[in-house]
């Protein structure tokens, strides 16, 4: 399954293959490479049934580009009749009665869901090691992490198990695993894609987006999943552009802001060199590099790790063993049931963030921590606004390093959190950003991050597409896949 969505659509339209054959191939590849642990649940029978329906629809005429294309959903999206676990013991047996809006829209576009991908528990993690179902392994080196929290989706696409997958991004959870696995991942502007049916981590930061081999594929996927949703008060009632139709535009005169703070100490030298070479490619295509500064970005990590845990502590209060989900098997009274259910149902990282968030929101500390973090969030957003007065997009690293070994940072939460130092500011500002393959360092993928103005996903996708037309980093496949 090394074909892009665009090529798959061409083959389906020409009758060179059927959707049923594609689904059978995908399911076989997932089982062959089960060592990656990229999937929690497969929905084989339904996938084959929907594929046959897609083949019939295509023969009848009028099928869109995504019709019959097999994809995977991160296991944080509610899927009617199919387990949605959030990679947690708390929801290990939860079967939703409805589809998330993203799932529903992808179905309407003709996509075939083959299964649900592994992830960090409740999307809390940067390495996909906090999952109740075990860690995901990076296809480029199975002893290394794929990144998180959308690590299962990234590994599945990088290993060519599926041509595309959905992810969610709260502080970098699409872009960071996309970078570490060598694929393209897009975090849209906050509000561009509905969050209805997406199990909440931090509601003011969470955003769903596509993960695929190319920017062109992401353009098709974003067009299908974006748009206003009456079920989500934060979704925007604005037109959704035809992103694919806007690809291929000239880059001459494009002003690319190079963030000084993002190329300072802390970025591995080989990673920085790969990114500088990527920027030279943009210059060869006529873009102009502009030095910009985001002075408050250094404070983004502590700001985020007050705000996100605070929202998480509120969102996760619903998991108490009363209504749905895991309940402790033995308890003395209702208070004991609450305590045992939550202590047994949540993993260490989730409990850590609940405790931090509850502390930040408690009487006496709300003003000292939470309110100050909100003010700092405003300053970070203002930095981006000033930077965009001088440039059209921003460019820099996604992660300070390539994929690190499994277990290397499990005993040092702060070190783990710093993996998202370059991605978190974008979520705090609500801006769109993507990661695209830009080279290798020590045999492992390096991702270039492009950041755009609010709702300017089309410009980002075009810039990434033009880069991919001139390079072949996105076509590289891990050995054995």
Given a contact cutoff of 8 angstroms between Cβ atoms, the answer to whether 394 and 257 are in contact is yes
Q: What integer is the mean pLDDT of 155-164?
A: 98
Q: In this predicted structure, what is the pLDDT of residue 2?
A: 75
State yes or no: is 252 an active-site residue: no
Per-residue pLDDT, 3: 85
Question: Distance between CA atoms of 71 and 85, rounded to whole angstroms?
Answer: 18
128 and 121 in contact (C-beta within 8 Å)?
Answer: no
Is the pLDDT at 265 greater than 90, yes or no? no
In 3D, which of 401, 445, 448, 462 has the Cα closest to residue 157? 445
Query: Average model confidence (pLDDT) for the chain?
Result: 96
Give the mean model confidence (pLDDT) for residues 30-44: 98
Does 351 qualify as catalytic in the annotation?
no
Report the alpha-carbon angle 363-367-368, nearest 5. Answer: 100
Tell me, what DSSP letter sits at residue 472? -
DSSP symbols for 157-193? HHTTSSSEEEEE-SSSTTHHHHHHHT-EEEEPPTTSB
pLDDT reported for residue 252: 97
- Tell me, yes or no, if 173 is annotated catalytic: yes
Share of the chain above pLDDT 90, in %: 95
- Classified by CATH at the fold level, domain 5-255+390-475 comes out as Amidase signature (AS) enzymes (3.90.1300)
What is the average pLDDT across 58-71? 92
Task: Tell me which DSSP letter residue 403 carries.
Answer: P
In the sheet that 393-397 helps form, which strands lie side by side, from edge to edge?
39-42, 112-117, 70-74, 164-168, 208-212, 184-187, 433-441, 444-452, 393-397, 255-259, 288-292
pLDDT at 266: 83
Among the listed residues 74, 105, 187, 409, the single catalytic one is: 74
Out of 126, 131, 149, 297, which one is annotated catalytic?
149
Query: Residue 61 has what pLDDT?
Result: 85
Among the listed residues 446, 443, 436, the one whose alpha carbon sits nearest the alpha carbon of residue 474: 436
Report angle CA 282, 290, 374 to the nearest 5 degrees: 110
Read off the DSSP letter of residue 98. S
Annotated domain spans of the chain: 5-255+390-475
Tell whether the model's pLDDT for residue 343 goes beyond 80.
yes
Q: Report the alpha-carbon distance of residue 441 to residue 420 in Å, rounded.
A: 19
Question: For residues 127 and 148, is the Cβ–Cβ distance under 8 A?
Answer: yes
Assess contact for 303 and 376: CB atoms under 8 A.
yes
Which residues lie closer than 8 Å to 245 by C-beta, 6 or more apart? none
For the record, the structure tokens of 5 come out as 């969505």
Question: What are the CA-CA distances from residue 264 to residues 271, 289, 401, 434 (Å)?
Answer: 12, 17, 13, 21
Measured CA to CA, the distance from residue 186 to residue 194 in angstroms comes to 15
Q: Is the pLDDT of residue 90 over 90?
A: yes
Name the CA dihedral angle for 403, 430, 189, 98, rounded to a multiple of 10 degrees. 90
- The predicted-structure confidence for 225-261, as pLDDT tens digits, reads as follows 999 999 999 999 999 999 999 998 999 999 999 998 8
Tokens coding 432: 């769109």
Residue 460 structure tokens:
């980002």
Sign, Cα dihedral of 426, 366, 351, 415: positive
> What's the alpha-carbon Rg for the chain, to the nearest Å?
21
d(CA 283, CA 277) in angstroms, rounded, equals 10
The mean per-residue pLDDT over the stretch 307-329 comes to: 96
Which three-class secondary structure state does DSSP give residue 211?
A: strand
Q: Which helix (H) or strand (E) holds 444?
A: strand 444-452
Which segments within 242-389 are labelled E, that is strand?
A: 255-259, 288-292
Burial (CB < 10 A; 0-12, 13-18, 19+), residue 438, is buried
Q: Mind giving me the DSSP string for 345-364?
A: HS-HHHHHHHHHHHHHHSTT
CA 194-257-297 angle, to 5 degrees, is 65
pLDDT at residue number 1: 61
Residue (of 166, 1, 181) closest to 71 by Cα position: 166
Name the active-site residue from 153, 173, 189, 194: 173
Q: Indicate the helix (H) or strand (E) that contains 225.
A: helix 215-225
């Amino acid at each position: 399954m090394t074909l892009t969505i665009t090529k798959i659509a061409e083959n389906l339209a020409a009758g060179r293959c059927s959707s049923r054959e594609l689904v059978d191939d995908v399911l076989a590849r997932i089982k062959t490479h089960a060592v990656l642990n990229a999937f929690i649940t497969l929905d084989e029978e339904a996938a084959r049934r929907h594929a046959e329906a897609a083949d019939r629809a295509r023969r009848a005429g009028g099928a869109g580009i995504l019709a019959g294309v097999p994809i995977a959903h991160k296991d944080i999206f509610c899927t009617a009749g199919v387990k949605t676990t959030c990679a947690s013991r708390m929801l290990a047996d939860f079967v939703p009665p409805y589809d998330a809006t993203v799932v529903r829209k992808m179905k309407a576009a003709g996509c075939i869901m083959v299964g649900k991908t592994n992830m960090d528990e409740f999307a809390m993690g940067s390495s996909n090691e906090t999952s109740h179902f075990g860690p995901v392994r990076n296809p480029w080196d199975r002893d290394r992490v794929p990144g998180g929290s959308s690590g299962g989706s990234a590994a599945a696409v990088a290993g060519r198990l599926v041509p595309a997958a959905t992810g969610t991004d709260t502080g970098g959870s699409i872009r960071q695993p996309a970078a570490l696995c060598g694929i393209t991942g897009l975090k849209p502007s906050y509000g561009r894609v509905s969050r209805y049916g997406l199990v909440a981590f931090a509601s003011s930061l969470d955003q769903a987006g596509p993960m695929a081999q190319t920017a062109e594929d992401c353009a098709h996927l974003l067009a299908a999943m974006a748009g206003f949703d009456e079920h989500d008060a934060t979704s925007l009632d604005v037109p959704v552009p035809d992103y694919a139709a806007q690809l291929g535009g000239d880059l001459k005169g494009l002003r690319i802001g190079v963030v000084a703070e993002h190329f300072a100490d802390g970025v591995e030298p080989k990673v920085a060199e790969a990114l500088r070479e990527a920027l030279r490619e943009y210059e060869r295509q006529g873009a102009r590099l502009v030095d910009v500064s985001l002075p408050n970005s250094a404070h983004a990590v502590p700001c985020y790790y007050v705000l996100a845990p605070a929202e998480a502590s509120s969102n996760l209060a619903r998991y108490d063993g009363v209504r749905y989900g895991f309940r402790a098997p033995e308890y003395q009274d209702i208070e004991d049931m609450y305590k045992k259910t939550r202590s047994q149902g949540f993993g260490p990282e989730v409990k850590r963030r609940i405790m931090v968030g509850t502390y930040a929101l408690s009487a006496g500390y709300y003003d000292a921590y939470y309110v100050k973090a909100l003010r700092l969030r405003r300053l970070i957003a203002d930095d981006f606004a000033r930077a965009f007065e001088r440039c059209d997009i921003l460019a820099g690293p996604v992660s300070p390093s390539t994929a690190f070994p499994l277990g290397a940072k499990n005993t040092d939460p702060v070190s783990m959190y710093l993996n998202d130092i370059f991605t978190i500011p974008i979520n705090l500002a609500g801006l769109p950003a993507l990661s695209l393959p830009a080279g290798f360092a020590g045999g492992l993928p390096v991702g270039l991050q492009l950041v755009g103005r609010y709702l300017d996903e089309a410009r980002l996708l075009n810039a990434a597409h033009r880069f991919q037309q001139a390079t072949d980093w996105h076509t590289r496949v891990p050995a054995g896949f």
